[in-house]
Amino acid sequence: MADAGPAGSGAGPPGVEAGRALVHARGPLAGGRRPRLQRRHGEGDKSRLTSLQGLVALSLDALSSVAYGPEAIALVLITAGVPEVRRTLPITLAIAALLAVLVVSYRQVIAVHPDGGGSYAVAKTEMGPRMGMLAAAALIVDYVLTVAVSLASGAASLASAFPALRPHLLPVALAVLAVLTAVNLYGITDSARFLMAPTLLFIVTVLGIVAAGLIRGHPVASVGGAVLPHAHEALGLLLILKAFSAGCAALTGVEAIANGVPMFRRPRVARAQRTELMLGALLGVMLIGLALLIRRDVLAPREGVTLLAQLTAGAYGTGWLYRAAGIVVAVALALAANTSFGGLPVLLSLLAKDRRLPHLFTLRGERPVHRYGVLAVALAAALLLLAVDARTSRLLPLFAIGVFTGFTISQTGLVLHWARLRPQGWTGKALLNGAGAVLTAIATAVLLVTKFTEGAWVVVVAVPLLMLLFARIRRYYDRVGRELGLGRVPSERPEAARAAWRVIVPVDDLGAMTGKALGAALSLGGDVVAVAVSSDEEHARGLRERWDRWDPGVRLTILTSPRDARVRPLVEYIARAAARDDRPHMALIPIVESTRPRYRFLYDQWSLLLVEGVREHAPGVLVCMLPHRVPG
């Protein structure tokens, strides 16, 4: 997958966000010697990752792509006939060669950007703001597609092991999405180490499939229905390029470790580079091993099962091991989807700080969670799953385009970096990065041409629209900033109000909240007026009687509202009072809140509606909300 985050920003790609919650929860990253703070928050070097721990904790996004990468190749090759599926192996070898180039390149990224070297950082630093926007737009598409592809593939894996789920792929994917959304809204910590067990189990499962399948020499069992229907097409260069580009979806996530350098123990750069090499070797072995089995057994995509499920049945049989492997793969894919819930909200927050998205994406709740970003991920992924009916094959063409756009940008940015600094041996490094940029750009172009009518046009439309959105929002914020004079020293000194404030306090009924509100208003000095709304004369008489008995020292004005409207009469009264009198006016509005969020919807929200009404119809009135919190 593509990556995100300018250096030192704390952002990262989906893979690295597996552990990003750990970084955010534990305080600042290493930026100096602060031993006491580190001990207090558990930030000592021992809490960071070794090379092996980093491989396990940060590689799930990349490794889980073997569940759909080889199948993407086979789905293309089968159009030339079932025997041509055997060419999955040479195409996989070519992908493994590209993987090697990317791994070496990202080892260089680790050295150049040790605080997080994603395509967004490289593009902003080396290629300017426009390329930064392109990288950010591709990343957003990439993150959303990661969630959709992982959940769709996970649902297909479960359905392969449990056939009863086959007609319900979409509900299963949406249910898992709802669980992930709820968990991320609640907030997660230490998720990097939480991922270690399922990642190790997934690695052991896939390597076991390869080893058992090769040792047996022939499949133990077969599963699934008939071979998928296909229109025969001549095997030519274009079809091979198409299969190569589709299979490159298996390279998603190889950049995750490059963005997770701050999470490693010292020496961080050396450990991260070693981990990147380990990831490349392990992913290459898994891809080539699965391709060997596909070539030997001439496995073709079948109805009702994934290609990985067929390989699992051939290695383990169709007993409990087969079903257990299906569950392991589904869990790994779900957790790979979860990493986007850490990556995209952080990226949206960074874009909002750059004034390219609404500022609400920078807001965080009581827990360290970008809730609006999490909800944006969930909504976009849900819409995408609904649009394609949770079919992985319909998502993969879109997925790879976003991935390789990020790869191409980061490789090109590094070429410019070496050309600008020209360190010793820079020519060889620039040639390597240039070769990687050319290869990934070719893969992107082939995907666009061959898959344009199958859905790739969505990315072609979405990325420019996102870039346009970033630019328009930035222009708007810049214009507002100029009008407000933000960052400039005001030319005039502030003056105190010449007349005392007139404070208007809306009253619903007598009680502790009313006394608290009137006390706060009286403490401000000036003229205080309480205003109530009554729908009938009897209620007004009773309120007046109780008010006179209480005698708080504040006059009460009762407005009549025959239609039982509560907000509009108050808004009109406040607007008229402010228009008639030159004195400064304040509306002190008491509100009731519960200490428990789940009870807040039980309270009447008329106070919030009143606040919005006063802001809209009486813009010169200062609005102040006085919360009265009750126990849940």
Residue of 237, 216, 267 whose CA lies nearest to 111? 267
Task: Name the pLDDT band for 199 (thresholds 50, 70, 90).
Answer: confident
pLDDT of residue 190: 45
pLDDT of residue 19: 38
pLDDT of residue 36: 41
Q: Of 541 and 536, which is predicted with more confidence?
A: 541
pLDDT of residue 123: 80
Phi then psi for residue 506, to 5 deg, are -65, 135
- What mean pLDDT is reported for the chain? 81
User: Whole-angstrom Cα distance, residue 11 to residue 6?
Assistant: 7
- Strands across the sheet with 502-507, in order? 555-560, 527-534, 502-507, 585-594, 622-630
Q: In this structure, what is the dihedral angle of CA atoms 184, 185, 187, 190, given to the nearest 10 degrees?
A: 10
Return the SS3 of 440.
helix
Is the pLDDT at 212 greater than 70? The verdict is: yes
pLDDT of residue 531: 92
Cβ atoms of residues 253 and 14 within 8 Å: yes
Q: Of 90 and 339, which is predicted with more confidence?
A: 90
3-state helix, strand, coil split of the chain in percent (to 5) is 70, 5, 25
Tell me which H or E stretch contains 479.
helix 457-484
Residue of 207, 184, 223, 222 whose CA lies nearest to 329? 207
Instruction: Say which residues have a Cβ less than 8 Å from residue 255's Cβ, sequence separation at least 6.
Output: 1, 2, 3, 13, 15, 102, 106, 109, 118, 119, 406, 407, 410
587 forms bridges with which residues in the sheet? Answer: 504, 623
Segment 337-352, tens digit of pLDDT:
877 787 788 788 888 8
Task: Name the pLDDT band for 28 (thresholds 50, 70, 90).
Answer: very low
Task: Name the pLDDT band for 368 (thresholds 50, 70, 90).
Answer: low
- Least trusted range by pLDDT, from 125-134, 261-270, 315-324, 598-607: 598-607
| Same fold across 16-29+48-475 and 502-630 | no
Between the ranges 15-19, 410-414, 494-498, where is the mean pLDDT highest? Answer: 410-414
User: Whole-angstrom Cα distance, residue 127 to residue 132?
Assistant: 7
Instruction: Say which residues have a Cβ less than 8 Å from residue 171's Cβ, sequence separation at least 6.
Output: none
User: Whole-angstrom Cα distance, residue 313 to residue 306?
Assistant: 11
Return the SS3 of 599.
helix
User: Whole-angstrom Cα distance, residue 547 to residue 531?
Assistant: 12
126 DSSP assignment: I
Residue of 511, 513, 524, 495 whose CA lies nearest to 586? 524
Q: Where are the alpha helices (DSSP H) in 524-596?
A: 537-550, 567-580
Phi then psi for residue 531, to 5 deg, are -130, 130
Return the SS3 of 193.
helix
Residue of 273, 256, 243, 258 whose CA lies nearest to 93? 243
User: Whole-angstrom Cα distance, residue 16 to residue 214?
Assistant: 33
Tell me which H or E stretch contains 140.
helix 129-161
pLDDT of residue 300: 83
* Straight-line distance from the first to the last Cα atom of the chain, in angstroms, rounded to the nearest whole number: 44
The mean per-residue pLDDT over the stretch 439-444 comes to 82
pLDDT of residue 348: 86
Can you read off the two tokens belonging to residue 362? 């920078």
User: How many other C-beta atoms can be found within 10 angstroms of the C-beta atom of residue 629?
Assistant: 10
Residue of 3, 536, 447 whose CA lies nearest to 253? 3
Which residue ranges make up each domain of the chain?
16-29+48-475, 502-630
Cβ atoms of residues 190 and 21 within 8 Å: yes
Phi-psi region of 313 (alpha: psi -120 to 50; beta: other; left: phi over 0): alpha
Say whether pTM exceeds 0.85: no
49 DSSP assignment: B
Residue of 75, 405, 399, 404 whose CA lies nearest to 242? 75
User: Whole-angstrom Cα distance, residue 148 to residue 326?
Assistant: 18
502-630: which CATH number, 3.30.360.10, 3.30.70.380, 3.90.550.10, 3.40.50.620? 3.40.50.620
User: Whole-angstrom Cα distance, residue 251 to residue 233?
Assistant: 27
Phi then psi for residue 274, to 5 deg, are -65, -40
Task: Name the pLDDT band for 593 (thresholds 50, 70, 90).
Answer: confident
pLDDT of residue 185: 83
The mean per-residue pLDDT over the stretch 544-566 comes to 85
pLDDT of residue 539: 84
User: Whole-angstrom Cα distance, residue 240 to residue 242?
Assistant: 5
pLDDT of residue 229: 61
pLDDT of residue 37: 38
pLDDT of residue 367: 60
16-29+48-475: which CATH number, 3.30.360.10, 1.10.10.10, 1.20.1740.10, 3.30.1110.20? 1.20.1740.10
